[in-house]
Structure 1
Amino acid sequence: MLASITDDPPILVCADLQVEYLTPGRRHVIRDGEAATTRCLELLTLWRDRLWPVMHLKRIAQAAWFNPASRLTDWIAEARPRPGEMTFEHPLPSAYSSSRFVDYMSNIHNGRCVLIGFSLDETILATAVDGFHRSHRYQVVADAVACRQPGSGDGAAYKQAVVNVAGNFATIQSSAELIKTSGAVAV
């Protein structure tokens, strides 16, 4: 089934686009940060230019490695939420750990959400799984998500494995598949 993206645009959900994930030497530094950031910013710009709905998720954990008072939890400058864009802080990996997010998602009708951003192996995966169990529809943009470096092994294989798992709970698409010249998006 195809729906016009301009008639019924999905909500772009920007997950954890925070400085923490791009700072070299940090425990949760992401793999391929530059490529993922570029793709995220391209999609964010498209959504903003067309005045489509944008939502930002920000992980505020209480763990020692994630100090909320640190500037490392700040948004990446280009991805900072603008007035009118929704923001939700969540303490656990899933965005559904925010009661405000749960309230919002339970009140939208036929909502479709496109997940992009960092912490693929935490926030994005956990949110897709929780959303699936609530009958919410998610799409994960495979070339606009990134995850931390695994402790050992091949980072690209790790990311692909997480994307494959997310595919059990969300539609997986590339950014090129998401937005086609036909103006349609698979739902």
Structure 2
Amino acid sequence: MAVSIHDDPPILVCADLQTEYLTEGRRHVIADPDAIRSRCLELMTLWRDNLWPIIHLKRIAQAAWFNPASNLTDWISDLKPRPGELAFEHPLPSAYSSSRFAEYMANMRNVRCVLSGFSLDETILSTVVDGFHRSHRYQVVGDAVACRHPGIGDAASYKLAVVNVIGNFAGIVGSADLIEANAVISV
């Protein structure tokens, strides 16, 4: 039996929505940023309109600590956390490298998380695998995630390969399915 999105709304986890991923010339610049930003904003708007919980993850790697004046770790302006939304900084790829996040998730019972955002091949992949080993349930929004340009090969094939690996540890869902599930119930 399918559980309604309204009966047990999942937590929207927004991964690394930072300017570094949009800055040309950076190692982590992502392919197709406008489409992914748009879908992430659409999902955030759905969650905010329904007053469902949102968590923001922010990668603070060691390189940023040596240049505190850098704005590369700043939130993308239209995707930054609002008051009342949780935000966790994590130094390693997995969000569980944040002791606050790990403790928060350990204290949640029967929680479902829907992941969207950037760094698919780092933060999202490692968080899903860590969560899987802690019996946490994740779904990844396949069309609302992005990863950096690979060193070689086609970016779309690389993303598909990473999503396929993640599918071994989490469900893969489309943003249209989540939005449609909400629209059917709201009518």
TM-score by length of 1: 0.94
Structure 2 unaligned runs (5+)? Answer: none
Taking only aligned residues, the RMSD between alpha carbons, in angstroms, comes to 1.7
CA contact (8 A) 1:60 1:68 kept: no
Which residue does 2:131 correspond to in 1? Answer: 131
Q: Identify the structure with the greater helix proportion.
A: 2
Which residue does 2:19 correspond to in 1? Answer: 19
CA contact (8 A) 1:62 1:68 kept: no
Which residue does 1:140 correspond to in 2? Answer: 140
Query: How has the CA–CA distance of structure 1 residues 81 and 26 changed in structure 2, closer, same or farther, with 3 Å as cutoff?
Result: same
Tell me by how many angstroms 1:69 deviates.
3.9
| Cα distance in 1 between the residues matched to 2:40 and 2:144 | 5
CA contact (8 A) 1:90 1:97 kept: yes
The one-letter code matched in structure 2 to 1:29 is V
Tell me by how many angstroms 1:67 deviates.
4.7
| Cα distance in 2 between the residues matched to 1:86 and 1:63 | 24
What do the CA deviations read for 1:5-46 (whole angstroms, capped 9, x no partner)?
112110000000000001111111001111111100000111
Which residue does 2:73 correspond to in 1? Answer: 73
SS at match of 1:58: strand
| Cα distance in 1 between the residues matched to 2:10 and 2:58 | 20
Tell me by how many angstroms 1:63 deviates.
3.1
| Cα distance in 2 between the residues matched to 1:40 and 1:143 | 9
CA contact (8 A) 2:64 2:73 kept: no
Tell me by how many angstroms 1:178 deviates.
2.5
| Cα distance in 1 between the residues matched to 2:142 and 2:85 | 23
The one-letter code matched in structure 2 to 1:121 is D
TM-score by length of 2: 0.94
The one-letter code matched in structure 1 to 2:40 is C
The one-letter code matched in structure 1 to 2:154 is D
The one-letter code matched in structure 2 to 1:141 is V
CA contact (8 A) 1:10 1:53 kept: yes
How many residue pairs get aligned? The number is: 184
Query: How has the CA–CA distance of structure 1 residues 174 and 133 changed in structure 2, closer, same or farther, with 3 Å as cutoff?
Result: same
Query: How has the CA–CA distance of structure 1 residues 91 and 24 changed in structure 2, closer, same or farther, with 3 Å as cutoff?
Result: same
Tell me by how many angstroms 1:64 deviates.
6.6
CA contact (8 A) 2:64 2:70 kept: no
CA contact (8 A) 1:11 1:52 kept: yes
Query: How has the CA–CA distance of structure 1 residues 64 and 75 changed in structure 2, closer, same or farther, with 3 Å as cutoff?
Result: closer
Does 2:137 match 1:121? Answer: no
| Cα distance in 2 between the residues matched to 1:104 and 1:32 | 32
Report 1:86-165 matches (<5 A): 86-165=86-165
**Of 68-77 and 99-108, the range deviating more from structure 2:** 68-77
Which residue does 1:63 correspond to in 2? Answer: 63
Structure 1 unaligned runs (5+)? Answer: none
